[in-house]
Structure 1
């Protein structure tokens, strides 16, 4: 690798993001557009390496292409792949195809691994311009078809901590099995209050319990709402081994049939879970809410509670729908309390409407697996009043927690959601204009503007795709000590207080509230930041944290402010990591599910349009795949970003968001987590030709389940992988990598055959009048 360039070009620092086609990108620290790296520049670097690079040219659309000038740090991430033995050479073909080279394994470095098994590799020699990387087998995971292998791969691929330290386990074992007399001191006794938990059928840990009763608020009627949250901070002490492990994880990670918890099971499913029929320690947000749904008074206090019933959403919904039905008869003593909860929910819902919170309904899906871990079916989740009741109660408690911290001028972590960027607002405005939507938005839209657009377009046949674009224009929510409000929920201050069993920011908020109640100041422990994140955090602290802190302090930010900033960035990054790992496992399962349906035909809905094709979601299975542009017929298709459509220049055939199409499953790439469709017949295009404002109402875009009340804000603006919502390009035909003696592991350890015509990358497919040539994107 060249050490330092002698060319006097400005150097840019960033992290390499490889692409399965062999090229890559430098994700720049300064937030500017990614720097494209051609395949020859990727030979001496690997995915996730930190580098310096310089811009050497721009393409005709003004996008920069670069050259690596220096490797600052090699990624410490292990590589997971299949061990192959070919022509006397041992090698590992990475499961993550963004690592563009196979890893050579010396004969004595294979350990106990057998050919074809999935292994974890530790690099001993990095790649060079004329040499492949070399490594040794560090861990054997098993055979590719072993149940749960997709999860074992994902947790290592994304660096999800999945084993607790000995110190944390020892500390957990030393904890009591139940609440002791000493633990009750200084706490309010709520054991006689009929608090209940309401969760899904498959929930194992119970963070929150609720109770409501009518109350006088001023001269009018209202309610007293109690939200009791498990007091994790009583058992997880500041800076203890348990605390360090919880901080490292930052969140629980949810997979089909398995959870990797933030805390050991003794805490997450036992001592800190509000199980029915046992006493538990809790922190309570005790609120007085008026008839308009406004919180007029609140207080926080530590308490001891006793859950009087564990309800499911289905049970509560049935009781609310029919107070004389079988479920109501079964829980007759609790029915009046549930009706009180429903009454306060309706008031809170009215207040939500009045403040202009953005509320975009989407279809959530649930994967149902068999005992072997294979998908049996994918079904939509039905949201009912019981779901919304709990969400509104949790929102109210979270807002009170944020206001409590802000009022006492104590540092803490807020859940912030900034307003949409000017670029995204402009894209949305152009899209609405192209569709002929009469309502529009200004340069600085507020939540009410989005709410008004949602309502104004609700009855249009193309409402699903309009609401999808509204969702994509949103920013991502994150954790920060700088309270800039929550745009999507229309709150001036918002935080996360209600799930300390599975989210570390909530645990920090509990500690801050306790410190304020005691008249003290909470100090963050000195917690380790994983090595891979240190450089990224340092840069972001310099650019974001320091600048924002200096605006407020008019000087150098204190170490305390920077500590909170680091905690917020770390928790936000690990939240994204958990989401990516969960999506990866679900994509694997869906690919295995669809391999059994090769050649079958389905009705589908276009859920994304790119320059290289259409992403289609099957209406009956909720599985998404790509119809490559070369499958759309023998003419030139032009991509219109404003309209989010592909239009045939000769025939005028249009494919846009929400178009209904008939497709056939043509190819499934398990390693690439990719499903390819082809149009069943040419006349299917006629269904994809809606005139302006008259698209057929297709199935709404299924999104990953998110039980959070602020799901609108926490959903990435684009469901595609890649920075800034850039859609991934289609994979290119398989080609030789490395020195020519190495092959990737597919099937029986052999490299897959080249793809059929029309299934390759948009960048590498011959146009021949059939498709639009496009520069490859990050995927």
Structure 2
């Protein structure tokens, strides 16, 4: 290359930085446009690429997911800091369309896990996560932290349970509340860390010894700030309103107490908020989904309502339920108990033989459930043909059989349009009276559970459709189209196994995901590809805009069927009842327009908190269950491969890690593209979906981690 050409490229760099990067001149451009404007030939393209990479690393320009270059504007973003035990962290941005920002350890600026922070992007490396520095801590996320206490001679240290808090907390003398070494404690931070100094705190609660019964779950409850006890005012109000249904309560309602209807739930369920009925009218089905009218007892703005908003959802931990509403309501007057008059909001649908809803009625009703059925009983009647149960429930068996037929029709119609069914085995943990896990097994998803699922889905869809077209303020359950970049990565990965998915203009139709899941059924890689596919999906959330539900392949969807345990359902029941009564005037519509966005956001956040808490307790009990199985051998399937080791899942859904350092029969090389390890000398491979035999090596309950080793 000539000397003049080198000078030109230097000038090009200056031009990019000082001329074309001016906000009022420069617009995002693809590489070909830049080459034309800058006068760069194809032969000089590599040098331009190098300049662009340097400018990206320096944080002067950025490249979008679609390959467009633009000036990097130092905008201050807000989000939540997520700590890492190795000192660095990430900021999850409020704008959930943007990726997390990596924060190096020297740029954390005193932030700790869960703090709300202001962050500035410092680097945007091509093809990698953005890097940033924390400029300001807006709000501390954790005033109190669950820790294990360690006593020294004149003071103590609190070691946080969560590894995301990567620093101990100094406890001065007299601030320990007589905690002993090894106790689980709740610490209130009184002075946050600065420079090399630890944070200081005081013990506000001693939960008990780390091995005491119930301390483990209580620690998770405190860590996630789950509210256990209801305020006295709330419980008193629940007791006052939770009386028997009166004639005044029933006045003006559609009385359908003479309809044959049942509840179908798990054996141990106590909050029965949905009942179903079914009759045939010629070739059409008349399906009734009857939901407890919780709003009759929980008035807007009441103490009960304010507490329900704060909780957002009931939380189903492995050993207990933390309800959204006091049990006087959730297990009492709002529970659709057999043989008792109950107030309901009913969605009564006429469905043709192809599964299409051709008519519907949404009404305030009075109902009386004839039988409280369990999933197991209905499954035994429909699948196992249990003669004893068939005789016991002979009056209901014809209805159950028609229900099974209709559920099959609805499911077939849903699948035809592209609805995705991730049929992962959920975990059921059986505990003894002391809270010790005695059995772990996959949760049985059978004909009865699917039947209720199908009926609730069609009711939710019908209600959402009705109120969308009424153009009233509403809360929808939204599941957005997957991020094209994640789908691209998924497509590249599944190519290794001989599978493909088709994209159209960077978009994917849910039917493509459904086809993929059908194609991998029964294969060794089924569980793995299913999980990776699920991870490529967006997270469902509550919104005031009806933008559709990708996973269900439907334009209109909401949560209507569980007002006892989900606040959004309770909220839309109010809107529906006001609409039915002709009271949804402009003033009330304006009221709902004002409050629903915040309810949608807080409900989505609280739902995530509940799900994380539930997962943590299950994970804890899984490790505890395996603790007395050290050196025992099990068959498993490789469920994940990372550069530091191999994850293996057992038949009971327990998962553990085989560390790469423990594979001593060869030197194993990690192939990132194929998600596999192969031995340098032997050529032996370990890849996703492969069946293996493992031995339990270590069970660390405090870290909730299991170590396995391969058995040759």
TM-score normalized with structure 1 length: 0.78
Q: Secondary structure at the match of 1:134?
A: strand
Cα shift at 1:211: 0.8
Q: Distance in 1 between matches of 2:587 and 2:186?
A: 35
- Larger displacement relative to structure 2 (400-409 or 449-458): 449-458
Change (3 A) 1:209 1:38: same
Give the match for residue 321 of structure 1.
383
Listed as ranges, the matches of 1:415-454 within 5 Å are: 415-437=477-499, 440-442=502-504, 443-454=506-517
SS in 1 for 2:396: helix
Is 1:134 paired with 2:200? yes
- Kindly state the Cα deviation for residue 575 of structure 1 after the two structures are TM-superposed: 0.7
Deviation, 1:322, is 5.7
Larger Rg: 1 or 2? Answer: 2
Give the distance between the partners of 1:523 and 1:23, measured in 2 at CA.
Answer: 51
Q: Does 1:123 align with 2:185?
A: no
Which secondary structure does the structure 2 equivalent of 1:285 belong to?
strand
Distance (Å, rounded) in 2 between the aligned partners of 1:353 and 1:434 = 27
CA deviation after TM superposition for structure 1 residue 582, in Å: 0.9
1:656 shift after superposition: 2.3
Instruction: Determine the C-alpha separation between the residues in 2 that align with 1:36 and 1:102.
Output: 23
CA distance change for structure 1 residues 10 and 182 in 2, over 3 Å: closer, same or farther? Answer: closer
Distance 2:591 2:246 in 1: 38
Q: Distance in 2 between matches of 1:652 and 1:511?
A: 64
In the TM superposition, what are the counterparts of 1:254-265 in structure 2 within 5 Å? 254-265=316-327
Partner Cα distance (1:322, 1:28) in 2: 51
Native 8 Å contact 2:380 2:386 kept in 1? no
Structure-1 residue corresponding to 2:100 = 34
Unaligned runs of 5+ in 2: 1-72
Aligned to 1:232: 294
CA contact (8 A) 2:636 2:650 kept: yes
Q: Which residue of 2 aligns with 1:492?
A: 555
1:16 maps to which residue? 81
Matching of residue 637 in structure 1 with residue 669 in structure 2: yes
Q: Corresponding residue for 1:520?
A: 583
> Of 522, 539, 545, which aligns to 1:482?
545
- The whole-number CA distance in structure 2 between the counterparts of 1:60 and 1:428 is 20
- Alignment partners' CA distance in 1, 2:581 and 2:615: 42
Could you tell me which residue of structure 1 aligns to residue 356 of structure 2?
A: 294
The answer to whether the 8 Å contact 1:14/1:28 transfers is yes
- 8 Å CA contact retained: 1:669, 1:675: yes
Cα distance 1:512–1:44, how it changes in 2: closer, same or farther (>3 A)? same
Asked whether 1:93 is paired with 2:159, we answer yes
Are the equivalent residues in 1 in contact too, given 2:524–2:690 (CA < 8 A)?
no
Structure 2 counterparts to residues 307-456 of structure 1, below 5 A: 307-321=369-383, 325-437=387-499, 440-442=502-504, 443-456=506-519
The one of 683, 686, 691 aligned to 1:655: 686
Paired residues of 1:165 and 1:241 also in contact (CA < 8 A):
no
Q: CA deviation at 1:331?
A: 1.2
Which residue number corresponds to residue 614 of structure 1? 646
- Residue 194 of structure 1, CA deviation: 1.7
Give the superposition deviation at 1:138: 1.4
Measured after TM superposition, the shift of residue 176 of structure 1 is: 3.9
1:192 aligns with 2:258: yes
What does 1:139-154 align with in structure 2 at a 5 Å threshold?
139-154=205-220
Displacement of 1:368 in angstroms is 0.5
Mapping of residues 657-736 of structure 1, within 5 Å: 657-681=688-712
Is the Cα–Cα contact under 8 Å of residues 638 and 649 in structure 1 kept in the other structure? Answer: no
Indicate the residue corresponding to 2:342 in structure 1. 280
Q: Post-superposition shift, 1:21?
A: 2.8
**Residues 396 and 174 (structure 1), Cα distance of their counterparts in 2 relative to 1, 3 Å cut:** same
Match of 2:246 among 172, 176, 180: 180
Rounded to whole Å, the distance in 2 between the matches of 1:58 and 1:49 is 23
Structure 1: where are the runs of 5+ without partners? 1-7, 526-556, 682-779
Q: Once structures 1 and 2 are overlaid, which stretch shifts more, 302-311 or 449-458?
A: 449-458
- CA–CA distance in 1 between the matches of 2:194 and 2:391? 73
Aligned counterpart in structure 1 of residue 271 of structure 2, from 201, 205, 219: 205
**Deviation, structure 1 residue 226:** 0.9
Offset at 1:651?
4.5
* Structure 1 range deviating more: 468-477 or 27-36: 27-36
In the alignment, what sits opposite 2:41? none
Q: Distance in 1 between matches of 2:74 and 2:522?
A: 55
Output the CA distance in 1 between the equivalents of 2:562 and 2:599.
Answer: 17
Q: Summarize deviations over 1:472-520 as a string: whole Å, max 9, x none.
A: 3222111111111111111110111111000001101111111111122
- Kindly indicate whether the alpha-carbon contact (under 8 Å) linking 1:164 and 1:264 is maintained by their aligned counterparts in 2: yes
- In structure 1, C-alpha distance between the alignment counterparts of 2:437 and 2:586, rounded to whole Å: 46
Answer yes or no: is the 8 Å Cα contact 2:82–2:92 preserved in 1.
yes
Of 631, 637, 646 in structure 2, the residue corresponding to residue 599 of structure 1 is: 631
Q: CA deviation at 1:522?
A: 7.9
2:218 aligned counterpart, secondary structure: helix
- Does 2:114 match 1:45? no
Distance 1:313 1:522 in 2: 42
SS of residue matched to 2:202:
strand
The answer on whether the counterparts of 2:383 and 2:447 sit within 8 Å (CA) in structure 1 is no
CA distance in 2, matches of 1:490, 1:522: 33
Q: Distance in 2 between matches of 1:667 and 1:623?
A: 13
SS at match of 1:595: helix
Q: Cα 1:41–1:437, aligned 2, differ >3 Å: closer, same or farther? A: closer
Q: Distance in 1 between matches of 2:132 and 2:397?
A: 66
Q: Cα offset for 1:105? A: 1.6
Aligned partner of 2:366 in structure 1 is: 304
Conserved? CA contact 1:663–1:677, under 8 Å: yes
Counterpart Cα distance in 2 of 1:105 and 1:255? 31
Q: Flag the 1:627–1:323 CA change in 2: closer, same or farther, 3 A.
A: closer
In structure 2, relative to structure 1, the CA distance for the partners of 1:35 and 1:440 (3 Å cut) is closer
Distance 1:260 1:276, change over 3 A: same
- SS of the equivalent of 2:289 reads strand
Distance in 2 of aligned mates of 1:296 and 1:97:
54
Q: Secondary structure at the match of 2:548?
A: coil
TM-score between the two structures when normalised by the length of structure 2: 0.85
> What is aligned with 1:564?
596
1:577 aligns with 2:643: no
